[in-house]
């Protein structure tokens, strides 16, 4: 089985022909003759043992195999071009951050100006995720970048640091604490829809068990794929959500969500920062990690202050 790379010149010719679907236009872009382009394509096809192009009435088109291979090869050249441009501009300090969408929207982005004030030479590029189905399954997938995950911190092979421990508790629109079905005690939850996040099936059962309320049942259930969708559904009065403190504190302060009673559960899961073990001392990662921990420390100080009781 061959493990060596195909000729880079052949790969470059393939990528350009794949984009232009023309040997002649590819030759003009590469500054070589059309016959040289054709020769490089034939060499690559022979190396791979597959036909990459077929001739049509309008010129060339990628075969099914060629189309799949083109997506990979062209993406690789795009990454090389982007890195080269950044290197020439002296801007290789950009840190890619894979992050849960809800945490980015409700906690990180509202405070991001402070990070840039403190670390003006580090740029962040956020790649939000809407679930816990992370594509970074091995540490090598995170080389030079970081990921913020929600869970118990049990991801072997990664360098993993806890950032935020969370509390969960019911939240709802202010409209649901008035009227004939007003939520004033936990028993009143049975009159309402309970909003779930599909990938966190134990959230409600854990809170109910912790509160000694496992016997309660909802009027109906709503299942959503994303914590941010869950928050929005609660804001719009579609039911009662089990809020995670860091994701709903801005809504509680603004009055778009209320906490009908103070029964909070210290969740076993929390947010963790992951990176490759060899990247722990990367200056960009160290700066971002230190900033996140400073934000978390400020939250702990605020959380020690007693919450004012909800008006009856």
* Per-residue pLDDT reduced to its tens digit, 209-257: 999 999 999 999 999 988 899 999 999 999 999 999 999 999 999 999 9
Q: What is the pLDDT of residue 131?
A: 53
User: How far is the C-alpha of 38 from the C-alpha of 59, rounded, in Å?
Assistant: 13
Q: What CATH topology corresponds to 8-88?
A: Arc Repressor Mutant, subunit A (1.10.10)
- Pick among 3.40.50.300, 3.20.20.140, 3.40.50.1820, 3.40.190.10: CATH of 166-268: 3.40.190.10
If one compares 188 and 133, the residue with the highest pLDDT of the two is 188
Q: 94-162+271-303 in CATH: which number? A: 3.40.190.10
User: How far is the C-alpha of 289 from the C-alpha of 92, rounded, in Å?
Assistant: 18
Closest CA to 248 of 151, 176, 311, 167: 167
User: How far is the C-alpha of 292 from the C-alpha of 286, rounded, in Å?
Assistant: 10
Domain ranges of the chain: 8-88, 94-162+271-303, 166-268
* Per-residue pLDDT reduced to its tens digit, 76-101: 887 777 666 555 544 557 899 999 88
Asked if the domains 94-162+271-303 and 166-268 are classified in one and the same CATH topology, the answer is yes
Q: Which percentage of the chain shows pLDDT scores above 90?
A: 63
* Per-residue pLDDT reduced to its tens digit, 104-162: 999 999 999 999 999 998 989 998 876 555 666 788 888 888 999 988 888 999 999 99
Q: What is the pLDDT of residue 310?
A: 43
For the chain, give the mean pLDDT. 87
User: How far is the C-alpha of 111 from the C-alpha of 107, rounded, in Å?
Assistant: 7
Q: What is the pLDDT of residue 87?
A: 59
């Amino acid at each position: 089985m061959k493990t060596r790379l195909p000729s880079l010149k052949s790969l470059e010719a393939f990528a350009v022909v794949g984009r232009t679907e023309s040997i002649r236009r590819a030759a003009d872009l590469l500054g070589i003759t059309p016959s040289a382009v054709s020769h490089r394509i034939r060499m690559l096809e022979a190396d791979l043992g597959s036909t990459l192009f077929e001739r049509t009435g309008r010129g060339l088109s990628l075969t099914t195999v060629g189309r799949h291979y083109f997506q990979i090869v062209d993406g690789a050249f795009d990454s090389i071009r982007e890195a080269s441009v950044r290197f020439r501009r002296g801007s290789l300090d950009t840190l890619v951050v894979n992050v849960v969408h809800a945490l980015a929207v409700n906690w990180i982005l509202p405070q991001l100006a402070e990070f840039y004030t403190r670390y003006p030479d580090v740029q962040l590029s956020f790649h939000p995720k809407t679930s816990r189905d992370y594509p970074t399954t091995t540490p090598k997938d995170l080389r030079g970048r970081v990921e913020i995950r929600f869970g118990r911190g049990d991801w072997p092979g990664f360098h993993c640091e806890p950032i935020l421990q969370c509390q969960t508790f019911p939240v709802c629109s202010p409209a649901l604490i008035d009227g004939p079905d007003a939520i004033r005690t936990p028993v009143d939850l049975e009159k309402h829809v309970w909003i779930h996040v599909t990938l966190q099936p134990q959230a409600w059962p854990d809170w109910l068990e912790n509160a000694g309320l496992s016997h309660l049942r909802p009027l109906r259930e709503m299942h959503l794929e994303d914590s941010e969708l869950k928050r929005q559904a609660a804001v719009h009065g579609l039911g009662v959500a089990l809020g995670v403190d860091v994701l709903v504190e801005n809504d509680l302060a603004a009055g778009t969500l209320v906490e009908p009673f103070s029964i909070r559960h210290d969740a076993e899961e929390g947010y963790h920062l992951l990176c490759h073990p060899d990247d722990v001392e990367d200056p960009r990662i160290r700066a971002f990690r230190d900033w996140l921990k400073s934000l978390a420390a400020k939250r702990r100080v605020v959380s020690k202050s007693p919450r004012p009781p909800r008006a009856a």
